[in-house]
Chain A
């Protein structure tokens, strides 16, 4: 079983739409959780950390459900510039490495 599993998409949504990505992880001892964004042929960039209490950054909301080992990312009022691949990232129980999902592709259409 993969450490992190994501729906690869692609998600094609119109501007202004709300879109949600989900991710599950296998290691119940993981302590840190993140969403990264990767544009084509570029490096991944940290979008936001994910906490059990949920956290919001502008149009982006992340949630963590430890009991279900499930992480989500909600993007409201999608912009063209949101088009990218979104990577779910979970730490190992030692914290020495992060496990990356294969990413969910989003295209926002005018």
Chain B
């Protein structure tokens, strides 16, 4: 009965490279959310997806960031041409209906050098 699985746990990228973060929701959950947590700051919403649909991407930066949740396979958060300011912990969460509270994955800690 695996929870929300995120990989990799740690990711190091040089400036200008691409980062791909993966998230497999809990079994039976069809809602996926991505949040970013900068050092000493709270979690900030990025995007909410259901299978093959982006429901709310109001928290996503307009450039370089994209997310998908295909019919088969994990949800992917993709950051192109990473910069130092992208260094953060990226948490994925999944849920049944949106107001039942999330279950979070262990996060991916991205470090841009």
Question: Which A residues are closer than 8 A to B by beta carbons?
Answer: 4, 31-32, 34, 42-46, 49, 87, 89, 91, 94-103
Contact = CB atoms under 8 A, between A and B. Distances in A.
Given A44-B43, A102-B41, A103-B42, A96 B98 contact: yes
Contacts of B102: 46, 98
A43 B41 contact: no
B42 A87 contact: yes
B11 interface: no
Q: Of B33, B56, B101, B106, which is in contact with the most chain A CB atoms at under 10 Å from its CB?
A: B101
A43 B107 contact: yes
B42 A31 contact: no
A100 B104 contact: no
A32 B99 CA distance: 6
Given A43-B105, A96-B55, A97-B59, A31 B99 contact: yes
A31 B56 CA distance: 18
B99 A102 contact: no
Interface string B17-34: 000000000000000010
